[in-house]
Amino acid sequence: MERTPITPKGLEALREELVKLKSVERPKNIQAIEEARAHGDLSENAEFHAAKERQSFLAGRIQELEYKVASAEVISPGSGPKDRAVFGVTVVLENTDTGEEIHYLLVGPDESDIKKGRISVKSPLGMAILGKRVDDEIKVQVPGGVRSYCLVDIK
* Digit-coded pLDDT (tens) for 25-74: 999 999 999 988 888 777 778 888 899 999 999 999 999 999 999 999 99
Q: What is the pTM of this model?
A: 0.81
Question: End of a domain among 24, 46, 74?
Answer: 74
Based on the domain organization, do 95 and 148 belong to the same domain?
yes
Average pLDDT, the chain: 92
End-of-domain residue from the set 46, 74, 102: 74
What b/e string do you get for 118-149 counting C-beta neighbours within 10 Å, with b at 16 or more?
bbbbebebbebbbebeeeeebebeeeeeebeb
Give residue 81's pLDDT.
Answer: 80
Question: How far is it, in rounded angstroms, from Cα 20 to Cα 153?
Answer: 39
